[in-house]
């Protein structure tokens, strides 16, 4: 039996779903402009063995719009959802932007997180320059109409193209110093890497970013390279739900001493 929740936070309300049950808790964290629907292949494989919670971020899916789409606001959303559902030390499984939220939350609140599954995200980057910032803003202006169509279908955010661009720029700036977050992470982190390109980056750029992740994996024994799967960045969750579930199982076995 599942439970639908509306979770107040800041100036808006988040849409969330909780499978309930007595299994180890798992909170799934979406990509930057994605919704709960991106986990539709994963949730059925976890349900029954885990208590699984999903939610839509601000202006995504069925959640309300907000005046704050910052990274800090996303961390506040995790606080709010954990409080509303009563999840105790969940495994945070995040894809892309959601992976960075998971790692930072675990680094800052180690007592609240049992483990992290990082799905092709949270890759430390070199500092970006103004030319790239301008390129991102131009790119999102060209996405304005497709974003509106995708939002109407419940598949993307309802923020403006300008807001989306600034959110993306802030994210890249945050990743510049993300090696510090990994150094502070005390719980087990299982990393799943894809092999292909990202909508906003070439295959070579993604290869270099994933190589940066290898550096932090080598520097912290809590962080492991769980799997590399043949997929571009966008489709890794849909194409490889079994690998994601296997990573959750591996974390659960380590921290909850659960075997399947």
| Selection from 62, 126, 69, 137 nearest residue 97 by Cα | 69
Mean of pLDDT over the chain: 94
**pLDDT tens string 127-149:** 999 999 999 999 999 988 988 88
Q: Which two tokens stand for residue 218?
A: 């080598």
**CA gap 248, 260 in Å, rounded:** 12
| Selection from 247, 257, 260 nearest residue 26 by Cα | 247
Tell me the CATH number at 230. 3.40.50.1820
Q: Which two tokens stand for residue 123?
A: 């890759």
Confidence of residue 1 (pLDDT cuts 50, 70, 90): low
CB distance 234 to 155 below 8 Å: no
Question: Is the Cα torsion angle 227, 230, 231, 233 positive or negative in sign?
Answer: positive
Residue 12 has pLDDT above 80, yes or no: yes
Name the domain count of the chain.
1
CB distance 235 to 243 below 8 Å: no
- Kindly state whether residue 149 falls inside one of the protein's structural domains: no
Mean pLDDT in residue range 222-243: 96
Confidence of residue 203 (pLDDT cuts 50, 70, 90): confident
Residue 25 has pLDDT above 90, yes or no: yes
Mean pLDDT in residue range 230-244: 96
Q: What percent of the chain has pLDDT over 90?
A: 86
Q: Which domain holds residue 74?
A: 3-125+178-255
- Kindly state whether residue 10 falls inside one of the protein's structural domains: yes
- Kindly state whether residue 87 falls inside one of the protein's structural domains: yes
- Kindly state whether residue 70 falls inside one of the protein's structural domains: yes
CB distance 151 to 187 below 8 Å: no
- Kindly state whether residue 147 falls inside one of the protein's structural domains: no
Mean pLDDT in residue range 12-35: 95
pTM listed for this prediction: 0.95
**CA gap 121, 167 in Å, rounded:** 16
Residue 194 Cα distances to 74, 95, 155, angstroms? 24, 11, 21
DSSP code of residue 101 = H
**pLDDT tens string 57-79:** 999 999 999 999 999 999 999 99
CB distance 35 to 237 below 8 Å: no
Residue 260 has pLDDT above 60, yes or no: no
What DSSP assignment string belongs to 170-189?
HHHHHHHTTHHHHHH--S-E
Mean pLDDT in residue range 163-180: 96
- Kindly state whether residue 133 falls inside one of the protein's structural domains: no
178 burial level (CB within 10 Å; 0-12, 13-18, 19+): buried
- Kindly state whether residue 57 falls inside one of the protein's structural domains: yes
Residue with tokens 């994933």: 210
- Kindly state whether residue 165 falls inside one of the protein's structural domains: no
Confidence of residue 257 (pLDDT cuts 50, 70, 90): confident
């Amino acid at each position: 039996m599942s439970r639908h929740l509306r979770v107040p936070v800041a100036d808006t309300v988040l849409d969330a779903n909780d499978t309930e049950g007595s299994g180890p808790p798992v909170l799934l964290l979406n990509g930057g402009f994605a919704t709960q629907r991106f986990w539709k292949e994963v949730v059925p494989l976890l349900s029954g063995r885990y208590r699984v919670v999903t939610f839509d971020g601000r202006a995504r899916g069925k959640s309300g719009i907000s005046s704050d789409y910052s990274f800090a606001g996303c961390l506040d959303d995790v606080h709010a959802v954990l409080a509303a559902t009563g999840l105790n030390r969940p495994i945070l499984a995040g894809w892309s932007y959601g992976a960075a939220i998971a790692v930072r939350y675990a680094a800052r609140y180690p007592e609240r997180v049992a483990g992290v599954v990082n799905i092709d995200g949270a890759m430390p980057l070199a500092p970006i320059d103004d030319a790239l910032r301008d390129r991102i803003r131009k790119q999102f202006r060209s996405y304005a109409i497709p974003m509106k169509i995708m939002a109407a279908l419940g598949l993307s955010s309802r923020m403006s193209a300008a807001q989306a661009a600034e959110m993306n720029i802030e994210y890249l700036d945050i990743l510049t110093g993300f090696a510090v977050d990994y150094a502070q992470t005390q719980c087990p982190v299982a990393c799943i890497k894809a092999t292909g390109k990202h909508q906003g980056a070439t295959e070579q750029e993604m290869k270099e970013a994933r190589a940066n992740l290898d550096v932090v994996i080598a520097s912290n024994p809590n962080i492991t390279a769980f799997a590399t799967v043949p997929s571009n960045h966008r489709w890794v969750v849909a194409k490889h739900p079994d690998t994601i579930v296997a990573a959750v199982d591996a974390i659960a076995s380590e921290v909850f001493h659960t075997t399947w």
